[in-house]
Structure 1
Amino acid sequence: MKRQLTLVLTGIAMLFCIRGQSQSITPFLLNASGGTYDNSTSYTRFEWSFGELVLTDTYKSPSGNLILTNGLLQPCTDKVVSDPEILLFGTNEWKIFPNITTGKFELDFFLNIPGQMELQLTDAMGRVINTRKFIYHCCDRIERYDISNLTNGTYFINARFWPERTLTFPAATATKREGTFRVIKAQ
């Protein structure tokens, strides 16, 4: 009796140790033939496959040396890869006023560390309209923009900040910052 109880309890314990398998939340495809290319300078990964059993349209270059299909091996995911050396701008470190604007607006920064700042004003399609680079001197900075000559719509300001590494501002408190701020222009 004692031996049977030990055997049953051991079996139950082993069941708890087995890792449960279920469908992964990340897309996956068993690719029998094809390949991949990881771009080391970005988070882009290219994958290709030959002979999948899905219906896709195929396009051929005039020379015939390139064939393009519109099928995807992996659909887009919302996984965000983050760099521990880069922080997003905090909500108390910037302000856009007025937003919604008829043309003129200002972007204010409230960082307490010096460094270099780069701002890119882009439209909704990602085309760069304006680029600014300047030294940020540890105090409030106001950047004024005038987009009254642009069409109504949504615009974005991509901001990057690289802190100075000095004795006053050690590396532990001086971290790179990035952020994208939305500006809406309407009449």
Structure 2
Amino acid sequence: MKFKKSLKLILMALGCCISFGLAAQQRTSSAVNAGGGSFRNDNYQVDWSIGELARIDTRISDNKVLLVTQGLLQPDFWGQLVMVSDPGFAPGEVKILPNPVRSLLQVQFSLRQIGRIRCILYSAKGERVFQSQFQYYGYGYTQTINMTKLATGGYFLYVELEPVEGSVVRKGSFKIIKID
């Protein structure tokens, strides 16, 4: 019951935020994000803001360690982004290091299940830029992807495990940021 009340309040606040945002956009050509918040439970994550910048701008610090994007919501930016409804991977079973990446991306597998693993790296445009397949024996493996020649930007790494025993294929998609 408490969850339903919280969700109802959040949805009402979200509706108000959208209304105020639309009204502000009709009067001015740009707006500054004045506030917002986030709600998360085991099944859902909802993020909202009051007003958004009309322009989207990305800045990288001089030492190229910090990447800041303004003008859009960035919920759970560094976490796993599962884009499939099939069974996925548990936290810690697939680790992406480092992210953001400059040159070599390490994908560490620590699954207990034996099977064939397929890794496909897609650009933000949906172009396949890397693909590999290998037999996984259940004791750990690190796949290295050379991203040196790839353009700066966002990529998605699709990982699929086709187990030897059982018919449930496990799938996951991870957001990768390439910086120079």
Normalising by structure 2, what TM-score?
0.51
- Secondary structure in structure 2 of the residue aligned to 1:120: strand
Counterpart residue identity of residue 149, structure 2: N
Count of matched residue pairs: 98
Counterpart residue identity of residue 87, structure 1: P
1:81–1:133 Cα change, 3 Å: closer
Pairing of 1:31-42 with structure 2 (within 5 A): none
Gaps of at least 5 residues in structure 1 are 1-79, 166-170
Q: Deviations over 1:54-96 (max 9, x none)?
A: xxxxxxxxxxxxxxxxxxxxxxxxxx984xxx31111221101
| In structure 1, distance between residues paired with 2:91 and 2:125 | 25
Displacement of 1:137 in angstroms is 0.7
Match of 1:37 in 2: none
| In structure 1, distance between residues paired with 2:133 and 2:101 | 23
Pairing of 1:136-175 with structure 2 (within 5 A): 136-165=136-165, 171=166, 175=168
Displacement of 1:175 in angstroms is 3.2
CA contact (8 A) 2:115 2:164 kept: yes
| In structure 1, distance between residues paired with 2:178 and 2:150 | 9
* Structure 1 residue 113 corresponds to structure 2 residue 113: yes
Counterpart residue identity of residue 141, structure 2: R
Question: Comparing both structures, which one devotes a greater share of its residues to helix?
Answer: 2
Displacement of 1:131 in angstroms is 1.0
User: What is the CA RMSD across the aligned residues, in angstroms?
Assistant: 1.8
Gaps of at least 5 residues in structure 2 are 1-82
Match of 2:177 in 1: 184
After the TM superposition, which segments of 4 or more aligned residues of structure 1 sit over 4 Å from their partners?
none
Q: Deviations over 1:9-62 (max 9, x none)?
A: xxxxxxxxxxxxxxxxxxxxxxxxxxxxxxxxxxxxxxxxxxxxxxxxxxxxxx
Match of 1:132 in 2: 132
Q: Deviations over 1:129-183 (max 9, x none)?
A: 1111111111111000111111100111111111012xxxxx3xx7321001111
- Secondary structure in structure 1 of the residue aligned to 2:100: coil
| In structure 1, distance between residues paired with 2:84 and 2:135 | 28
1:136–1:121 Cα change, 3 Å: same
- Secondary structure in structure 2 of the residue aligned to 1:88: coil
1:159–1:97 Cα change, 3 Å: same
- Secondary structure in structure 1 of the residue aligned to 2:87: strand
| In structure 2, distance between residues paired with 1:81 and 1:116 | 18
| In structure 2, distance between residues paired with 1:91 and 1:182 | 15
Q: Which has the larger radius of gyration?
A: 1
Normalising by structure 1, what TM-score?
0.49
